Every structure is written in C-alpha cells, then in structure tokens.
Structure 1
Amino acid sequence: MFSASEASTKAAPGRLPGALWGVLALLVISVAINYIDRGNLSIAAPLLKEELRISPAQLGLLLSSFFWTYSTFQIVSGWLVDRFDVNRVIAAGFLLWSAATAATGWIHSFEMLVVLRLVLGIGESVAYPCYSKILAGHFPEHHRGLANSLIDAGTKCGPALGTLAGGLLMARFGWRPFFVILGLGSLVWLPLWFRWMPRGQGAAARRAADAPGISDILRHRAAWATFGGHFCGNYFWYFLLTWLPFYLVRERHFSMREMASLGSLAYLVTAAATTAAGWLSDRAIAAGSAPSRVRKTCTGFGLGFATIILGVTAIPNETASLVLLLLACASYGVFASSHWAITQTLAGPLAAGKWTGLQNFVANLAGVAAPAITGFVVDSTGQFFWAFAVSAGVALAGAIIYTFGLGKVAPVEWAE
C-alpha cells in the first residue's frame, strides 16, 4: 500500500490520488465535529440560561471563554506540529476536545462550565496548524485550493448539523444528553484516522531546517494584513455562531425547533457559497486571471457585502430579515473561500504552519471579543441592533484591509 505522500507523486498530474481523498475526508469530518463542539453551547444557551440563572453578560463570558485558550494556544500548537508527528498531535487534540464536550453534560455550575470550555479550547487549538501542515506537506499546490474550500465548508456544515440536530434533540430531551452523546460518539473518528492518516514526512518537513522563524514572518506587512483581515472576518462569523440561536429565539420569538431549522439553513448557505466561490476562483486562476486579483476580490467583496447583516435586526418583516441574513452568510462564504489560500500562497510550504498559528492566534481573539462585546451591548441596550451594527462595522474594516492594506498576493521570498 502506498502512503498518501507517495500516492501524490504517482497519480496523474490533474487528479488527486485516492489516498489523499481519504485524508481530506477525515479532515473535513474532524473540522465539522470541531465546530459542532465549539458551537453547541450557543444552541443550548436559551435552556442553559434559565436552568443556571445566568445573565446575558455572564452568558457572553461563558461563550467567549473557549477562545481564551483556543487563541493563546495557537502558537504553541504551531510549534508542536513542527516538532512532533502531526498525525498524533491532531489525534491527541481530538481526544481532549471530545472528552471536554462529553463532560460538559454532567456539569451543574457556571464556574465548571467555564473550566471545560477552556479545556475544549486547548484541544481544538491544534486543528488548523495541523491542517496547514498536512496540506502543505502532502497535497500538491494545484489541489490546495479545493482542499481548503472543503475544510472551510466543514466549518459551516458542522454548525448547520449541530444547530438542526442539537436544537431538535435539546427541545425533546434537554441539553445534557446531547453533549454526552456527541462527545463520546465523536471518538469513532480516532481509529479511522489512525487507519488512513498520511504516512511519511511530506514535502514541507524535508526542508524544516530552512524554515523562517516567527520574527521573519512578523517583519512582513502582508502578515499583519492577513492577521487583521482574518480577525474582522472571524468577528462576524463568531458573532453569528455564538449569538444567532439566542437572537432567533429571544428577539424574533422562534421556537427551538424553528431556530434549529433557520440556523442550520444559514450555515448551509454559507457552506455552499464557500465551496462554489473556491471552485470558481480556482477556475478563474487556471484560466489566466491573476491570483492576487481573484483572492483579494473574494475577501474584499465578501466581507464588504456581508455588512447587509445590519438590516436583519432593522427590518421588522421576518421573511425579508431572513433573506438578508442568508445573503450576508453567503457573502461571508465568498470571503472564507480565499483567506487561507492567500496565507498559504504568501507563506509557502516552509512557513505555512507558523504563519497559520500566528494568524489564527490573532484572528481568534475575535472569538473572545465578539461574544463578550455582544453580551455587554445587549445587556446595556436591551436590544440587538447595536450588536449587529458593531459586527457590520468590523466586517467593513476587514474588507478595507484586504482590498487596500494587503498588497500583492505572491510568495514571500524568505532569506536563506
């Protein structure tokens, strides 16, 4: 049997070998589970708030606590995947975050819920550095665009499935059994990973000694532009991921079942837009369009048009409001199809892991900011309008950064 990296050299130039399709499928499944686990607390928020008698500000603190460790451990995780076997690092992280999810179902205090969210963040922090390491080391350049788009689609399909199944199951059985079953059931992924994980070091690892350091990356303006632009995009996304279920139930007065259906539809629209935009952008580049123009158009237009989300809370009509929500989600999906492709083009295989860790560290500080700021704004004003306005303003700032601050998207020439 060939290893995944060996198979990539034996397949026809235009085709992705079967072994790598298996690896990619497991990565997509893992990121879907990853996002279900990080978002399931927001689905349970309407029930959990009443049971534990916590305020909107406390709820915002609880929803943001995951990102305290998720963000701060990104750089550590980037070092781990460069230092140790990436296949075992992602397996260890998967085991840790699944255990934290299952344990949440048995917790009865606000303080212990915060602790388990911190543990969940540590486990999930390994995911994206591992994905970048695996894609850079085992996937040919001309297949990384599709691979990134499918992984990003998994981040949308996960919340869609979690919102639909979680909302329906919680409405029927309560929130605790859902956490226990999800955490323990996810462990089925681990033996499949050890069976199909890529073998060998991969192309990037063979030149690890030549890789640039963190200080080398931080000296480039493009790095700071990707950090800031991604932060803005993440603020928009984590605002939806953590507060949309609560908004639909408490502000729009939908039932838990209706919230589950509408919330999952929003995530599915985002996933479809991400996949379509990723495929179309790769086709445009293959046809001769400049990669810089294509990638910057996707990120700038996507975040810029996503600002229509402000109309969601400003329009009383439910149908029109939901149409705007879906359009805003689709626009975000266009952005999400290209932001990691930009990073991987700029960094190249040698720096993709460290650049990813640094970028995800900065970007996921938005996961701390968005839930907490939203909780504070809602608590202070008693309504969601200004929370939506802040999210739209941050998205617009991201569009400006990608359009005017990034510069040309081309591989960085690292010093020898």
Structure 2
Amino acid sequence: MTFSSSTANTGDKVALRAFAPTLILLVLAVLINYVDRGNLALAAPLLKIEWGMTASQLGILLSAFFWTYTALQFAMGLFVDRFGANRLMALGFLAWSLATVLTGAAMGFATLLTLRLLLGVGESVMFPASSKIMAQHLPEHARGFANGLMNAAMRWGSAIGTFGGGLLMAAYGWRPAFVAIGVVSLLWLPAWSRWKAPEAHITAHLDAAAPAFSAILRKRDFWGAASGHFCANYLVYFLMSWLPYYLVHERHLSMSAMSVAAGALWVVDSLSSIGTGTITDLCIRRGASPTLARKSAMALGFSLAAASLVGCALAGQQGYLPCLIACAVGSGAANAGTFAFAQTLAGPRAAGKWVGLQNGIANMAGVTGPALTGFLVDWTGHFASAFAVAAVITLGGAFAWCFGVSRLQQVDFS
C-alpha cells in the first residue's frame, strides 16, 4: 500500500494537533523550571547585604544546584527509557516546586545549600523526559519549532523570573517571593495529569532494544553534541547566574531597572530561538538537508554571541547594552537546536539515555561556570575577564556542532 504526500502531510497535521496540549504543558514546565532555578541569582544582591556573603560564596550557592542536577542526568536518562517519561515528569516537578517553597524559610548558608541540591534533584528529569516524549511524537520537520519553543521557554522563565521575581523581591523581600513562586507552580501538576500525551504504544519494544550507555559513548556524534551543548550551557548559565549582579554592581542599575533590562534581554533571546527553529524547519520542508539547516544556525548563533561577549568586556557605560542585545540574539539562535540534534541522532528508542548523558556532560558548565565567574570577579574586581572566558568557550561551541557532529541523522547502534 502506498500513500500520497498529501495524505502523509494530513496525518502529520492531525498528530501535531493532538500533541499540542502536551507541548504547551512541556513549554510551561520549562518556563517554571527556569524561574525556579534562576531566582537565587535575583536574590544574590539582597543576600550579599543581609548575610554579608562574598562573591565566592554566592558562586558556590549558584553552582550547587548543578551538582545534583548534573549527576542525576545520567540516571534520569536510564529511568525515562525504562519506566516512561510522564510519571517521572510529575515527580520531578513536585520535588523542585517544594524546594522553591522551602527556600523562603532558609535560615543560613547550609540550609540554602541543601535546598539548592534538592532543586537540582527535581529538575534533573526535565530534559530527558521531554526529549523522549518529543522523539516519540514529532517528525524531524516539526522538531525545530518545538525545540525552539522549549528553548524560548527557558528564556521566558528567566525573563518572567527576572522581571516579576525582581519586582516582588524589591517590594516584599526575597522570602515571600520564593514561597509565592513555588506555590503557584504546583498548579501545573493537575493540568499534566489531564492533558499529558499517552506513552507511545511502541515504548516497551523500543526500550527493550535501547542501546547501552557504552554504545552511545563510543559515537563521535555524541561527543560533538555534548561538547557543543556544554559551550551553549556555559553561555546561558553565565548570563542567568551573573547578569543581575553584573547590572547592579558593575553597571550601577537599581533592582527595578535591572529587572526590566535583564527581562528584556531574555525576551530577545526567546524570539531569536523561536525564529531560528521555525526557519530551519521551513528550510527542511523545502528540501534542505537537516545537517545544513541546523548546523548553519548553530554556526551563526555561536559566532555572534562570542563576538558580542568580547564587546561587553571592552564596552564603556554607553556601549554595553547593544552588545548584550546582540548576545541575546546569538544565544537564542545557538540554543534553538540543542535538543533537536539529540532527538534526531538518538532516535525514539535511545532519546532518554542520549539526552541524559548529553545534558549531564553539558551541565558541568553549570557546576564550573558560576563558581569560576565568582572567583574571577573577586580576583580582578570586575567582569571583563569573565566575559572573555565566556567568549572563548562560546566560540568553541560553533566548532563542536559543525565539525564534531557529522551528518544529522539517526545513529546506527548496530
């Protein structure tokens, strides 16, 4: 039996419409995820005053989340492939929301450190589970937009957290802000129970045939993707962790002005991500190879972001903001395809394990980057050296995606 292209296109549209509620909930989950992981950076200037913390201590707190988040990526990839993504998504969401609520009651450095570790445990399920779900339900020519939207949600989370959370903290203090954000987040769970996509009927068969971790680790494409993802994460976590502090302490903005400026930058980043994902999907539908379409976007995005970071390091008081805007455009383009690459290279049967491994390695950037930036700022007294280091690592991302990954097609594990 054969099918016409119009029949196939109709089937794709029906499947995409059926998946839309799940995609919306995944986007909301990522948004909340990034609000919750980024809100401590907003509180950093207040903690410095209230608890007398140094930049080095703040760097440790900001990186602590990534200790558990990164370590558990490897296990979560295995659990998602073996037990299914839907239930693990709900359990992880509950854990990280409760950690956010309890942060509002923290009484010292040790308690806050413990809660940041718990936050990392809960959030570690997000990307292995969401990538597994999208690899099962979305065709290649729809993954650019979906992953661009997911990446935009990361920026929306940072923007909403920075703008709304910053204003809440400025008006009521950091403790009530954490409690309010965590309680409101819990409303996502009933919606997920109602509108999540069913586990694919082929999941059990595919998981039984899923490749071992060692088979994935032997692939050059995996290491190219993991290296590129590390560089992308270093840029994002550098900005997410230290942009509020940089704008307040080095550029002398008020808390309210910082919230508006940083929030606007994340909006620019998100629009760039959605636009890039949509354009790459359109190119693929019109006959371009996924390799050419998605690698070109990576090369342009990383290169623009790296050049802009150098500009920030050299800019005076009037020139830093245009550089940050250009960096946001480049960051959005560079990050739009991060998980789309992984979903295609791994295929549905290995997506959980691959993304868990890739995201675990990539999030070493979160373990090292925020702390390294804190030490550099304490050592030099300003952010120029931190911007320079971030620029070099970001440029490395362009090389990793373009030359470390060969063709963008499902890897043969046989």
TM-score range relative to shorter protein: over 0.9
The one-letter code of the counterpart of 1:20 is: F
Give 3-state SS (helix, strand or coil) of 2:187's partner: helix
* Aligned: 1:247 with 2:249: no
Give 3-state SS (helix, strand or coil) of 2:413's partner: coil
> What residue is the counterpart of 2:67 in the other structure?
68
> What residue is the counterpart of 1:52 in the other structure?
51
For the residues of structure 1 that align with 2:388 and 2:405, how far apart are their CA atoms? 25
> What residue is the counterpart of 1:411 in the other structure?
410
* Aligned: 1:317 with 2:314: no
> What residue is the counterpart of 2:4 in the other structure?
none
User: In the superposition, relative to structure 1, how do residues 142 and 361 fare at CA in structure 2: closer, same or farther (>3 Å)?
Assistant: same
User: In the superposition, relative to structure 1, how do residues 81 and 225 fare at CA in structure 2: closer, same or farther (>3 Å)?
Assistant: same
Report deviation, 1:204: 4.4
> What residue is the counterpart of 2:154 in the other structure?
155
Contact 2:298 2:401 in 1 (8 A): yes
> What residue is the counterpart of 1:81 in the other structure?
80
For the residues of structure 2 that align with 1:200 and 1:95, how far apart are their CA atoms? 20
> What residue is the counterpart of 1:332 in the other structure?
331
Question: Which residues of 2 match residues 253-268 of structure 1 at below 5 A?
Answer: 253-268=252-267
> What residue is the counterpart of 1:182 in the other structure?
181
Contact 1:42 1:242 in 2 (8 A): yes
For the residues of structure 2 that align with 1:314 and 1:259, how far apart are their CA atoms? 20
Contact 2:95 2:118 in 1 (8 A): yes
> What residue is the counterpart of 1:375 in the other structure?
374
User: In the superposition, relative to structure 1, how do residues 82 and 32 fare at CA in structure 2: closer, same or farther (>3 Å)?
Assistant: same
RMSD: 1.5
User: In the superposition, relative to structure 1, how do residues 294 and 18 fare at CA in structure 2: closer, same or farther (>3 Å)?
Assistant: closer
For the residues of structure 2 that align with 1:162 and 1:230, how far apart are their CA atoms? 23
Contact 1:295 1:339 in 2 (8 A): no
Report deviation, 1:10: 12
Report deviation, 1:311: 1.3
> What residue is the counterpart of 2:395 in the other structure?
396
> What residue is the counterpart of 1:5 in the other structure?
none
Identity rate of aligned residues, in percent?
46
> What residue is the counterpart of 1:6 in the other structure?
none
Report deviation, 1:294: 1.3
Contact 2:76 2:356 in 1 (8 A): yes
Report deviation, 1:226: 0.7
For the residues of structure 1 that align with 2:201 and 2:293, how far apart are their CA atoms? 28
Report deviation, 1:18: 3.6
The one-letter code of the counterpart of 2:125 is: V
Question: Which residues of 2 match residues 25-174 of structure 1 at below 5 A?
Answer: 25-174=24-173
Report deviation, 1:36: 0.4
Cα shift readout 1:2-40 (whole Å, capped 9, x = no counterpart) = xxxxxxx99643354443111111100000000000000
Contact 1:69 1:118 in 2 (8 A): yes
For the residues of structure 1 that align with 2:338 and 2:9, how far apart are their CA atoms? 30
For the residues of structure 1 that align with 2:68 and 2:12, how far apart are their CA atoms? 41
Cα shift readout 1:329-353 (whole Å, capped 9, x = no counterpart) = 1101111111221122211111111
Contact 1:137 1:205 in 2 (8 A): no
The one-letter code of the counterpart of 2:403 is: F
Contact 1:138 1:203 in 2 (8 A): no
For the residues of structure 2 that align with 1:142 and 1:304, how far apart are their CA atoms? 25
Cα shift readout 1:257-299 (whole Å, capped 9, x = no counterpart) = 0000000011000000000000001111111112111111111
User: In the superposition, relative to structure 1, how do residues 141 and 285 fare at CA in structure 2: closer, same or farther (>3 Å)?
Assistant: closer
Give 3-state SS (helix, strand or coil) of 2:186's partner: helix
For the residues of structure 2 that align with 1:187 and 1:194, how far apart are their CA atoms? 12
Contact 1:11 1:17 in 2 (8 A): no
For the residues of structure 1 that align with 2:71 and 2:316, how far apart are their CA atoms? 40
User: In the superposition, relative to structure 1, how do residues 10 and 187 fare at CA in structure 2: closer, same or farther (>3 Å)?
Assistant: farther
Cα shift readout 1:225-268 (whole Å, capped 9, x = no counterpart) = 11111101100110000000000000000000000000001100
Which structure 2 residue ranges, 5 or more long, are not aligned? 1-7
The one-letter code of the counterpart of 2:174 is: W
The one-letter code of the counterpart of 2:272 is: A
Contact 2:81 2:349 in 1 (8 A): no
For the residues of structure 1 that align with 2:372 and 2:116, how far apart are their CA atoms? 18
The one-letter code of the counterpart of 1:312 is: C
Contact 1:137 1:202 in 2 (8 A): no
Contact 1:277 1:334 in 2 (8 A): yes
User: In the superposition, relative to structure 1, how do residues 260 and 339 fare at CA in structure 2: closer, same or farther (>3 Å)?
Assistant: same
Give 3-state SS (helix, strand or coil) of 2:76's partner: helix
TM-score by length of 1: 0.95
The one-letter code of the counterpart of 2:26 is: L
Report deviation, 1:313: 3.4
Residue correspondences, number:
406
TM-score by length of 2: 0.95
The one-letter code of the counterpart of 2:314 is: A
